Structure 1
Amino acid sequence: MVSHSAKIAEGIQDLLKEMAPAVPIHLAGGLEDGTIGTDVNRILEVVEQVDEAALILSDIGSATMNAELALDLYEGDKDVQFYDGPIVESAFVAAVSAGNGMNLEQIMEQLKHET
C-alpha cells in the first residue's frame, strides 16, 4: 500500500484486516519522518520484504510514479505487479480475492473487471 499519508495506509490496512485477516498488507505510507509524501526507496524496501508475489497499489500522483519506479528498480525474483486504480476499492477486491485463494494473475484480472 503506497500512500502519501501513513494514516491513510494504516486505515486501509485496518479495513482489510477485518475483511481478509490472513492476507498480509505491507505499508509504505508517508515519509520516514512521518510527513506527507512518498519515497521510492522506502517502497522498494517494502517490496523486498514481501515473502511471495505482491501487488502494489497507490493513492495519487507521485505515489503512483514512485510505485512504478520502484517496480522498475526491483531486481528480485518475486512476481510483483502494480495496479493503477482507486486505492480503497482495489485494495478491498485484491485482499478478499487473495483471501479466497486467487493468485496474483487472477487478482489482476478481477481488478480489471471490478474497479
Structure 2
Amino acid sequence: MVNLILVSHSEKLAQGLKELLGEMAPGVAIHLAAGLADGSLGTDISRIEAAFEAVTDDSLLITDLGSATMNAELALELYSGNHTITFCDVPFLEGAFVAAVQSRMGQNLDEIILALQSEFQ
C-alpha cells in the first residue's frame, strides 16, 4: 500500500487526522512530521527526513501550510532513499482522506495522484 506522510505545524492536528484515517483506512501506513520538539507549532526538516526514512513503500506527501510545504520540498531535494515520495498540493484533511482510502483500496501512487488531481484541481 502507498504510505502517507503528513507534514503539519500542529502535532495535535496531525495526530487527530492520523487517528481518523486509521478508522477510515485501516492498514495504511501514515507517518507524521508535525510540530517542533518542544511541543510548539512549526515544522522541522529533521522530523520530515525521519518520516521519509520510516516509509515502507512509495509514499504521498501532504502538507498543511506554506512553510510546511517549503520544508517538505527541501527534504525531498535531499532525500536519497529507496522509495518514491511524491508531494501533492491538496487540502490537508480532505486530500489525506482521499489518499488513504485510495491506498486502502489498492491503488498505486500514480492512480492516487490522478484521483487527487481530479477531486481537487
Q: Same fold (TM over 0.5)?
A: yes
Q: Which runs of 5+ in 1 are unaligned?
A: none
Which secondary structure does the structure 2 equivalent of 1:106 belong to? helix
Return the match for 2:98 from 83, 93, 112: 93
Return the match for 1:41 from 37, 46, 49: 46
Name the TM-score, length of structure 1 as normaliser. 0.97
Q: Which has the higher contact order (CA 8 A, sep 6+)?
A: 2
Which 4+ residue blocks in structure 1 deviate beyond 3 angstroms?
none
Which secondary structure does the structure 1 equivalent of 2:37 belong to? coil
Counterpart-to-counterpart distance in 2, 1:71 and 1:108: 17
1:109 equivalenced with 2:102 (yes/no): no
Tell me the alpha carbon deviations over residues 54-90 of structure 1, each in whole angstroms, 9 at most, x when there is no partner: 1110000100111111111101121110011100010
- The residue correspondences of 1:1-115 to structure 2 (distance < 5 A) are 1-115=6-120
Counterpart-to-counterpart distance in 1, 2:119 and 2:20: 18
Which secondary structure does the structure 2 equivalent of 1:27 belong to? strand
Counterpart-to-counterpart distance in 2, 1:39 and 1:63: 8
Which secondary structure does the structure 1 equivalent of 2:112 belong to? helix
Counterpart-to-counterpart distance in 2, 1:47 and 1:2: 11
Aligned length: 115
Cα displacement (A) at 1:50: 0.6
Which secondary structure does the structure 2 equivalent of 1:26 belong to? strand
Name the TM-score, length of structure 2 as normaliser. 0.92
**Structure with the larger strand share:** 2
Cα displacement (A) at 1:22: 1.0
